[in-house]
Amino acid sequence: MAEKFLVDFERLLSGEDIDSEENEIDLPLEAALNRLLDCPYTFDGIEGLIAKKRKSRQIVFEGKIAVIKNYPKWDEELEPFRAVVTDKRITKQGIHIKIWFGEEIKEGDILEVL
């Protein structure tokens, strides 16, 4: 999963538009959120995911993430999702991800959490 995310991330940095649904770019973002945010929720896709290049080595991802709560009733709610992924490999700091979910802000190296 990490290798595919890196390929898609590099394509976005180069200015290429990629279809987030076709490329399933939301899957590694969900996985990173699951691992960084120690919570009992299950995430089921990011709707309306938009990826925007903000700086030469930074992509901002925004959309609404489907959150399944209240097991076993499986109530699903859409919550705002935002992640900023910054390539800091030039300074040997890896690829940093910062995720906003509700009032939580979590961050780490995306290659370590995937």
Separation of alpha carbons 31 and 83, rounded Å:
12
- How confident is the model at residue 111, as a pLDDT? 87
pLDDT in tens, 39-66: 777 888 899 999 999 999 999 999 999 8
- Domains of the chain by residue range: 2-113
- How confident is the model at residue 95, as a pLDDT? 95
* pLDDT less than 50: residues of the chain: none
Which residues neighbour 107 within 8 Å (Cβ) at sequence distance 6 or greater? 36, 96, 97, 98, 99
pTM, to two decimals:
0.88
